[in-house]
Amino acid sequence: METLQKPKPSEYPSYSSIYMDLLDDKKNILDQLWDNFLEVKRFIYSLPKEKLTYRYSEGKWTIKEILVHNIDDERIFSCRAMRFARNDTTPLPGFEQDDYAKFSDANERSLDSIFEEYEAVRKGTIALFKYLPKDSFMRKGSGIDTDGSIINERTVRAFAYHIAGHELRHLNIIKERYL
């Protein structure tokens, strides 16, 4: 696959710029996805075990919950990318990330089990984007708000970048607020 160009701001909702801005414009996004995974894994395994279930404030996620949140987010956004790549124009509902984290039981899991799942999902994401037809990357789809209005239109290629940048954003938050 040739390098997938970074999406323009018109290809994703404005809030996603906090993710897009963290990514290297010149590096292949699939390489960034794999390198990010390796960086996150190396970093998290270097932390003391007690930090993995630490909350810097009441109601905030633990590091284990953040990791499982990244997995959940990647699955959801990869599925959306695949649907839009296949020209499914059905507006897709959002998801309540706090409920996902609450019901993930992440803190009861071993770090090894979390990274086993994380790696499997990441390899699946990379394979998805690697083998999508070239003409599918500029197809667009949208989300639907609770009131039924259309929101968050984005291109298929913007999903790949969202996943990579979202992960880096959470890594930065861990470094800033959990250590």
**CB neighbour class for 63 (10 Å; exposed up to 12, middle 13-18, buried from 19):** buried
Query: How much is the pLDDT for 151?
Result: 80
pTM beyond 0.85: the answer is yes
Mean pLDDT across the chain: 94
Question: Average pLDDT of 73-84?
Answer: 96
Residues 20-37 have pLDDT tens digits of 999 998 899 999 999 999
Q: Which amino acid is at 80?
A: R
Residues 148-169 have pLDDT tens digits of 777 889 999 999 999 999 999 9
Cβ count near 93 (within 10 Å) = 9
Query: How much is the pLDDT for 1?
Result: 59
With contact defined as beta carbons under 8 Å apart, do 170 and 71 qualify?
no
With contact defined as beta carbons under 8 Å apart, do 179 and 104 qualify?
no
List of domains in the chain: 9-177 (1.20.120.450)
Structure tokens at 87: 């020209």
Quote the percentage of the chain above a pLDDT of 70.
99
Question: Average pLDDT of 113-132?
Answer: 98
Burial 123-134 (b: 16+ CB within 10 A, else e): eebbebbeebee
**47 versus 89: which is more confidently predicted?**
47
Query: How much is the pLDDT for 2?
Result: 64
Whether 131 shows a pLDDT value over 70: the answer reads yes
- Region for residue 152 given its phi and psi (left: phi exceeds 0; alpha: psi -120 to 50; beta: otherwise): left
Question: Average pLDDT of 42-64?
Answer: 96
> Taking CA 141 as the corner, what is the angle to CA 78 and CA 126, rounded to the nearest 5 degrees?
20
Spatial distance between the Cα atoms of 144 and 158, rounded to a whole number of angstroms: 17
